[in-house]
């Protein structure tokens, strides 16, 4: 068991997921990323899309980008956190997969060649904290797509946050690290604020880091309006991993839009 009393001074990490990256894949090993990729491919088929090149926005450690590349897609992965990209690069090198990795904010990025599809999965869009940031991300993504290109992303619902995160604390003690995950949701501003504290084993004890994550809950109608203003054609809002329309019971909603031809 880790002795949390032998800690150096607190180190506050300003970039969400940057310190989390070291433990991310282990903590999130319950997520069916392969199933998520298969769902994306089903959506490609549903909407008659045959992209050669795909953009993974908020790519994290590459759990979506790598299986896409293994299936023969040219993939560009974008993430704000250098720690996440470092993990992604290591995994791509180990798998001998060629993927272009770019450190950038999803609200302001550039790629050399437009893509036939853009993905932004696992509620990454909810890190946009107001309508202006949401619209800016949509505008930026539209610029990165070829005419007819699909934009596939998901959002979490308020029901999900209230049921599974609000006022809840999660923690685990593992051989090389301990983490404490505290959540608080405000219905007033529809923001979920999360404080993640990590204690990582180091040469002389343990290093402590804190990340603050804030996510905004958006209603589907708000998202649809922002897509329209950004010049996208809205295609669908499905209960996640299905082709059934979302409803009040949905924890996660998958949205697909298209850049007009």
- Which pLDDT tens digit goes with each residue over 24-44? 999 999 999 999 999 999 999
Same-domain pairing of 93 and 146: yes
Domain that holds residue 186: 11-19+160-215
Same-domain pairing of 238 and 191: no
**What's the Cα-to-Cα distance from 247 to each of 43, 83, 251, 254, 256, rounded to whole Å?**
19, 36, 9, 12, 16
Assigned domain for 26 exists:
no
Same-domain pairing of 193 and 68: no
- Which pLDDT tens digit goes with each residue over 110-139? 999 999 999 999 999 999 999 999 999 999
Same-domain pairing of 105 and 172: no
Same-domain pairing of 186 and 145: no
Assigned domain for 188 exists:
yes
Side by side, which strands form the sheet with 233-239? 100-103, 74-79, 53-57, 115-120, 145-156, 252-258, 233-239
Single out the residue in 200, 215, 230 at which a domain terminates: 215
Same-domain pairing of 49 and 86: yes
Share of the chain above pLDDT 90, in %: 93
Same-domain pairing of 86 and 203: no
Number of domains in the chain: 2
Q: What is the DSSP string of 82-128?
A: HHHHHHHHHHHHHHT---EEEE-BTTB---SS-EEEEEE-TTGGGG-
For the entire predicted model, the pTM comes to 0.94
Same-domain pairing of 104 and 76: yes
Same-domain pairing of 188 and 102: no
Phi, psi torsion values for 185, nearest 5 degrees: -115, 140
């Amino acid at each position: 068991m880790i002795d949390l009393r032998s800690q150096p001074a607190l180190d506050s990490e300003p970039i969400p997921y940057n310190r989390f990256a070291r433990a991310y894949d282990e903590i999130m090993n319950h997520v069916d990323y392969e199933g998520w990729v298969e769902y994306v491919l089903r959506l490609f088929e549903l909407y008659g899309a045959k992209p050669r090149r795909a953009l993974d926005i908020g790519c994290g450690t590459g759990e979506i980008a790598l299986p896409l590349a293994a299936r023969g897609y040219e993939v560009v992965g974008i993430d704000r956190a250098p720690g996440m990209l470092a993990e992604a690069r290591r995994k791509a090198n180990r798998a001998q997969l060629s993927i272009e990795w770019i450190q950038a904010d999803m609200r302001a990025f550039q790629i050399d060649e437009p893509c036939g599809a853009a993905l932004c999965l696992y509620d990454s869009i909810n890190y946009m904290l107001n309508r202006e940031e949401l619209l800016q991300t949509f505008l930026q993504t539209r610029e990165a797509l070829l005419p007819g290109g699909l934009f596939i992303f998901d959002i979490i619902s308020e029901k999900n946050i209230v049921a599974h995160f609000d006022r809840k604390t999660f923690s685990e003690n593992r051989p090389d690290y301990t983490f404490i995950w505290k959540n608080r949701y405000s219905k007033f501003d529809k923001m979920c604020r999360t404080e993640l504290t990590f204690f990582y084993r180091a040469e002389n004890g343990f290093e402590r880091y804190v990340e603050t994550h804030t996510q905004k809950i958006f209603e589907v109608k708000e998202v649809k309006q922002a897509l329209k203003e950004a010049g996208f054609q809205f295609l669908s809002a499905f209960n996640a991993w299905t082709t059934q329309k979302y409803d009040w019971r949905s924890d996660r909603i998958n949205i697909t839009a298209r850049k007009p031809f």
